[in-house]
Amino acid sequence: MFRQLMIPCAAMLVALAGVGGVLLNADRTQSVVADKHELIDKTPSIQHHTHADLQKTGRRLDEINQVIASRVPQLNGLKPVNANSISQAPWNDPALNDLYEQIRKQRLTLWFPPNDEPFSIWVGNPEKTVDGKKVYQHAEVLEKAVPLINQLPFPVRIWFYGTRDQSNPELGECIEAVSGITKLSGVKFSYCRINERGYQALRKLSELHDLEILHSHLDETALEQIAQMDGLRRLHLHFGKKQIDSALAEKILDLPHLEDFKLYINLAPGRVAPFWNKLSGCSQLVALEVDCGAVKQEVLVKFLKEGDHQKLNKWVIRNVFPKKKLADAFVLAPQLTSLKMPSGSTEDMGYLLDRLARDLPGMTNLTIGWDTGMHLTDEEARTALKQLGSFANLQECHVPVALPDAYALQPLTKLKRLESFYCKDLDLNQETLLLLAQMPALKSLDVKALNFGDESAHLLPWLSYVEQIEIRDPSTLTDERLALLSQLPQLSRLKWCDIAIPKPVPLTPEARKKYSHIDFEICGN
C-alpha cells in the first residue's frame, strides 16, 4: 500500500520539478517556483504521513500542477519584477535628478504620471510675505524655471493648481510665461482664476494641442477664445452648473482636429439634442465624454447613425443606460474598445452584454454602473460572466454581478490580459484562489472578505502581478493572513475602510512593521 501511494506522489514531484526547470529563464518564475519547492521541501517525509496526510498532499500537488499547466505559456513571457513600464519611462532617468532638484528649488513640484498621462510641472500657489501681507509669485517663479524646464529631454505639461475658494490671483501674466517653454505638451488648470489676458495668452500658444480646465473660471468669453485654438486635439472643460449659451458652446465643435473631447456644461434642455446633432459631425473623435444635460436614447442613436465614428475608441456615456436601439447601434463605431455608463435594468444589461460580445469582441475596458444598486444574480450572473469571457482582450471590467459561486469565475480564466474585475460577494478562499491563480495579468482585487488559511499558502504566490487588494470586510484581515498575503510577489497596497467597524482591525503594530513594504490605505483614518 505504501509503495502504491509513493509512486504517484513521486511522479507528481518529478513533474513539478521538470516544469520548474523549463521556467528558470524568467526571473519572476524562478522566485515563484523556488517558493513552491521550498514549500514542498518543508513537508515532512512521506514515511511519517498517515494515509489521510498522503491523500491531502496528493490533492495539493494536483492543484499546483493544474495551476502551473494553465500558466506555463504566460510565465515564459513574464518580465522581471523590476522591469516594468514605469521604470522605463524617460523621466525616471537618474541622470536627470540634479535638474529635477534645481526645478524643485524654484518652488515648483514634479508630477510623475502613473499611467499614460504626460509628465507635469505642478504650479501651486508660491507666495511670500511683504509688509505682513501675502503676495503670490506665480509669474516670477515660472519665469525663473523656464530655462531649467527647457533642459528636460521630453515634453512637459504645465499644471496650475489654485485654491478651492479660488482666492488665488488671476493667472494672465503667469500664462504668458508658458510661451517660453519649448517642449510644451499641454496646459491644465484646476481651481484657478483665468482672466481674458490669460485666455489670449493661451490662444497665442500655436503649438498647444492639449488643454484641460477643471473647476476653474469658465464663461462665454472663455469659449470665444478656446474656439479659436485650431491646433487643439485634446480638450477637457468643466463649466459647473452655470447655464451657457448653446450657440457659443457649439463653436467648440468646429475645432478641426479634436480627438479627445470631455465636456461638462449646463445647456438649456431644448439645446441638448442640437448640440449632439452637431457633435455627430466630429469625425476625428477617438475619446468622448460629454454631459450637457439629460439626453434621450434616440439622440445618441442618431449621433451614431448620422456621423462617421470609425475612429471612436473610448466613450463615457452619462445620464442614460443604453437600451436595445442604442445597444444595436454601437456596431457603427467598430473601433470602440472602452465603454463606461450608468447601470440599467438586469434585462437591459443582459442584452447589452450579448450585443457587445457579438459586435465588439475587441473590448478592453467595460464599466457598467457602480458597486451599489441593482446586480445580476444567479443564472443572469453566470451568463454575464460567460459573456465577459468572450472578450479576449479585456483588461478591466466592472459589471454589477453578484457572484453565485466560485466556479462561475471559470470563464474569466480565459482572459490572459485581465488586470481587474468586480464581483460582489467575492471572497478570497481556497476555491476562488484556484481560479484567480489562473489569471496571470491580475493587478488588483476587490474582495468582500478573506477566508483562507495555510491550506491556500501554495496558491497565493501565483497571483504574480497583484499589487493591490481592497477588502470590504477588514475584520477578516489578521496577522496570520497578512503573513500569507506577503507571499504575493508584487503586493504593495492593502485598502479598507474602518469607519463602521466597532473595534479596530486586528492587525498588530508588530505585523505592520514587519511588512513595511505594504502600504495600508485606510479610508477611516
**Per-residue pLDDT, 35:** 39
Most confident stretch, 29-33, 336-340, 343-347: 336-340
pLDDT of 374 strictly over 90: no
The C-alpha cell of 265 is what?
456644461
Q: Are 446 and 399 part of one and the same domain? A: no
**Per-residue pLDDT, 226:** 92
Q: Are 449 and 490 part of one and the same domain? A: yes
Residue 134 burial (10 A CB sphere; 0-12, 13-18, 19+) = exposed
380 part of a folded domain: yes
518 part of a folded domain: yes
Other residues' Cβ atoms within 10 Å of the Cβ of residue 477: 21
Which residues neighbour 415 within 8 Å (Cβ) at sequence distance 6 or greater? 388, 389, 391, 392, 394, 439, 441
Sign of the dihedral through C-alpha 317, 320, 321, 323: negative
493 part of a folded domain: yes
Counting every residue written for the chain, the total comes to 525
509 part of a folded domain: yes
pLDDT of 1 strictly over 50: no
**Per-residue pLDDT, 295:** 94
pLDDT tier at 29, thresholds 50, 70, 90: very low
Q: How far apart are CA 174 and CA 180, in angstroms?
A: 11
pTM of the model: 0.81
Q: How far is CA 314 from the centre of its chain?
A: 14
**Helix, strand or coil for residue 399?**
strand
Instruction: Lay out the sheet containing 519-522: strands in order across.
Output: 444-447, 468-471, 493-496, 519-522
**Per-residue pLDDT, 125:** 78
**Per-residue pLDDT, 87:** 55
**Per-residue pLDDT, 57:** 62
Q: Are 518 and 445 part of one and the same domain? A: yes
DSSP string, 253-319: GG-TT--EEEEEEE--GGGHHHHHHHHTT-TT-SEEEEESS---HHHHHHHHHHS--TT--EEEE-S
Q: Are 473 and 496 part of one and the same domain? A: yes
Radius of gyration of the chain (CA): 28
pLDDT of 36 strictly over 70: no
Q: How far is CA 42 from the centre of its chain?
A: 39
129 part of a folded domain: no
Q: Are 390 and 450 part of one and the same domain? A: no
Q: What is the pLDDT of residues 436-487, one digit of tens each?
A: 999 999 999 999 999 999 999 999 999 999 999 999 999 899 999 999 999 9
Q: Are 446 and 511 part of one and the same domain? A: yes
pLDDT of 365 strictly over 90: yes
pLDDT of 41 strictly over 80: no
Q: Are 16 and 60 part of one and the same domain? A: yes
Last residue of a domain, one of 22, 52, 75: 75
Structural contact between residues 146 and 177, judged by C-beta atoms closer than 8 angstroms = yes
Average pLDDT over residues 14-41: 38
φ/ψ of residue 177, rounded to 5: -70, -25
Structural contact between residues 168 and 160, judged by C-beta atoms closer than 8 angstroms = no
DSSP string, 131-197: TTEEEE-HHHHHHHHHHHHTTSSS-EEEEEE--TT--SPB-HHHHHHGGG-SSEEEEEEES-B--HH
Q: What is the pLDDT of residues 481-523, one digit of tens each?
A: 999 999 999 999 999 987 766 676 778 999 999 999 999 998 8
**Per-residue pLDDT, 500:** 66
140 part of a folded domain: no
**Residues of the chain with pLDDT > 90: what percent?**
60
> Torsion-angle region of residue 113: left (phi > 0), alpha (psi -120 to 50) or beta?
beta
Last residue of a domain, one of 425, 457, 489: 425
Number of domains in the chain: 3
Q: Are 417 and 371 part of one and the same domain? A: yes
Structural contact between residues 108 and 56, judged by C-beta atoms closer than 8 angstroms = no
Q: How far apart are CA 4 and CA 22, in angstroms?
A: 28
pLDDT of 111 strictly over 80: yes
> Torsion-angle region of residue 373: left (phi > 0), alpha (psi -120 to 50) or beta?
left
Distances (CA, A) of 198 to 105, 140, 208: 26, 16, 14
pLDDT of 219 strictly over 90: no
Q: What is the pLDDT of residues 15-26, one digit of tens each?
A: 444 434 433 333
Sign of the dihedral through C-alpha 237, 239, 241, 247: negative
Q: What residues make up the domain containing 69? A: 2-75
151 part of a folded domain: no
284 part of a folded domain: no
The C-alpha cell of 1 is what?
500500500
Average pLDDT over residues 391-401: 96
Q: Are 392 and 343 part of one and the same domain? A: yes
Q: Are 404 and 452 part of one and the same domain? A: no
**Per-residue pLDDT, 82:** 37
Find the range with the poorest average confidence among 62-66, 268-272, 311-315.
Answer: 62-66
**Per-residue pLDDT, 355:** 96
Q: How far apart are CA 312 and CA 261, in angstroms?
A: 11
**Per-residue pLDDT, 53:** 59
> Which of these, 332, 386, 411, 395, lies nearest to 363 by C-alpha position?
395
Residue 65 burial (10 A CB sphere; 0-12, 13-18, 19+) = middle
Q: Are 455 and 399 part of one and the same domain? A: no
Last residue of a domain, one of 25, 56, 75: 75
Q: Are 348 and 421 part of one and the same domain? A: yes
